[in-house]
Structure 1
Amino acid sequence: MNPKNKDGKRSARERLREQREKEVARAQRKRTLIAAVVVVAVLGAGAGIAAVVAGSHKPKKPEVAGPLVAPQGATGKDNVTIPLGPSSAKSTLTVYEDFRCPGCGQFENVFRDTVHDLENKGELKADYHLVTLIDKNLGGTGSLNAANAAACAQDAGKFGAYHDVLYKNQPLETNDAFAKKSRLLDLAGQVPGLRTAEFEKCVTDGTHNSWVKKSNEAFNSSQYKATPTVLVNGKSVYGDPANPLTPDKLRKLVGEGPKG
């Protein structure tokens, strides 16, 4: 074979080999680039998902309770009692209650008119102790926020009216609607003259949160373990299915006055 032909064939084979190597290298670079883009996209998407998940599970910071500020007119040991009715009344109704407690709502709805009538006649005064039992059992802040708002209403001299509005609009026990301060402010609009700038600030700031917690601690330290706990002249009168309390029985107990 002519040496020139051999050199020509070798050069052609070498050029073909070099061309194939370039194509392989080009294809490899393309695959590497695509893979890099995919990795970056996946990592970016993962970072976005992680941010959403982290945000959705980010624990709420506990609300700062602040200094202990008792509402105006609070009485009793440690000033954890809100009184209603004439102080000169011979009989006293004592109620431990939680604004989220359905049993408390039942008591209020059945006995509200009777209690008010006896108060208006000067025969009964009522002492209210606000408790946050449902917040502890089911989670949430509705018991605390509602109690604080009620204490703010006490500052304005409208505890009784606002107390009744809260129970008339009580949500289901599992629906922590009273945790929303906007809801508590909306309900305050049903009490003439209550929703002032001062009241709104008191509700929004949680002015009486520490006081509510103090009231709840007093309940936990007492012999009573459930809400509502209802006493007439110091004697428990509510919650016994064998001897249920009725409005007529309440009137009789109040009329009898304190024993001894």
Structure 2
Amino acid sequence: MSEKNREGKRTARERMAIEREKQKAAEKRRRALIVGVSVVCVLGLAAVIGVIAANAGKDDDGDSAGPVVAPSGAQGEDSLVIPVGKADAPSTLVVWEDFRCPACKSFEDAYRSTIHELTDAGQLRVDYRLATIIDGNMGGTGSQNAANAAACAQDAGKFVEYHDVLYTNQPAETDDAFAENSKLLELAAKVDGLDTPAFRTCVEEGTHNAWVAKSNDAFRSGGFTGTPTVLLDGKNIYQDQSMTPQKLKQQVQEAAKG
């Protein structure tokens, strides 16, 4: 083989080697680019997820965020009780209720006049405690908004009257009509002296929303199974199938006699 041919083959091998090195370098750059883009995508996705999670947290807080403002005259632990009747009444009825709850309306319709009679006579004190479980089960904010409006009525010294109006005019469970402030204000007009600028501001600004949320937290942590939960001197009378308004009246009057 001539020297010229050997030189040609060597040059060809060198060109091939150089080309292979170029290809290896290009492949490394391609892989590095893919990895870099993947990292950027992952970081970008994480950032998006973080923003979504942060916003979701804000949405969950909803209108219940803000300072806890208890209504006037609220009592008990964390001021979560709205009391009705004389403080020294011989018997105490604790009523956990939700203004969207159909069973609560049924209880109110059956026992309302008896409870009023006993509280007016000074024989019974009623501790009303508010929950929002229907909002949680059905969606919406009617339970919360109605409870806030009732707390606003308490500020005005009109809790009992407005409480009764809300139950008398309760919408169907699936109808979140109480979520509309206009509906709550419309019903307030049925209570003499309640529809004032102060009441309207309290309703529209959700002054007691955080208090309502705290009351609902107390209900959930109390181990109760649903609303209404009605306790006469600590005994759950709503679970007593034999209980009637007349039997409740008899028990309270006997306790008043000592």
TM-score, normalised to structure 2, is 0.74
The runs of 5 or more residues in structure 1 that have no matched partner are 1-58
Amino acid at match of 2:119: E
User: Does residue 137 of the first structure (1) align with residue 119 of the second (2)?
Assistant: no
Amino acid at match of 1:185: L
Amino acid at match of 1:253: Q
Secondary structure at the counterpart of residue 96 of structure 1: strand
Which residue is 1:251 aligned to?
249
Give the distance between the partners of 1:63 and 1:73, measured in 2 at CA: 23
Secondary structure at the counterpart of residue 243 of structure 2: coil
Which residue is 1:65 aligned to?
65
Give the distance between the partners of 1:82 and 1:246, measured in 2 at CA: 24
Secondary structure at the counterpart of residue 231 of structure 2: strand
Please state how far the C-alpha of 1:225 moved relative to its aligned partner. 1.8
Amino acid at match of 2:106: Q
* Divergent runs of 4+, >6 A: none
Q: Cα deviation per residue 1:10-29 (whole Å; 9 max; x = unaligned)? A: xxxxxxxxxxxxxxxxxxxx
Please state how far the C-alpha of 1:246 moved relative to its aligned partner. 0.6
Please state how far the C-alpha of 1:255 moved relative to its aligned partner. 2.0
Give the RMSD, CA atoms, in angstroms: 1.7
- The 5 A counterparts of 1:160-179 are 160-179=160-179
Please state how far the C-alpha of 1:64 moved relative to its aligned partner. 5.4
Which residue is 2:101 aligned to?
101
Give the distance between the partners of 1:175 and 1:239, measured in 2 at CA: 27
The runs of 5 or more residues in structure 2 that have no matched partner are 1-55
Give the distance between the partners of 2:122 and 2:71, measured in 1 at CA: 24
Please state how far the C-alpha of 1:252 moved relative to its aligned partner. 1.7
Give the distance between the partners of 2:114 and 2:199, measured in 1 at CA: 29
Amino acid at match of 1:224: F
Larger radius of gyration: 1
Q: Cα deviation per residue 1:139-198 (whole Å; 9 max; x = unaligned)? A: 000000000000000000000000000000000001000000100000000000001000
Do the aligned partners of 1:81 and 1:129 also contact (CA within 8 Å) in 2? yes
Do the aligned partners of 1:65 and 1:206 also contact (CA within 8 Å) in 2? no
Please state how far the C-alpha of 1:117 moved relative to its aligned partner. 0.4
Cα distance, 1:84–1:64 mapped onto 2, change above 3 Å: closer
Which residue is 2:114 aligned to?
114
Amino acid at match of 1:211: W
Please state how far the C-alpha of 1:87 moved relative to its aligned partner. 1.1
Q: Cα deviation per residue 1:103-123 (whole Å; 9 max; x = unaligned)? A: 000000000000000111110
Amino acid at match of 2:158: K
Which residue is 1:208 aligned to?
208
Q: For this pair of structures, how many residues does the alignment match?
A: 199
Secondary structure at the counterpart of residue 63 of structure 2: coil
User: Does residue 128 of the first structure (1) align with residue 128 of the second (2)?
Assistant: yes
Please state how far the C-alpha of 1:65 moved relative to its aligned partner. 2.5
Amino acid at match of 1:82: I
Give the distance between the partners of 1:64 and 1:212, measured in 2 at CA: 8
Give the distance between the partners of 2:123 and 2:63, measured in 1 at CA: 41
Secondary structure at the counterpart of residue 83 of structure 2: strand
Which residue is 1:27 aligned to?
none
Give the distance between the partners of 2:78 and 2:67, measured in 1 at CA: 14
Give the distance between the partners of 1:117 and 1:82, measured in 2 at CA: 18
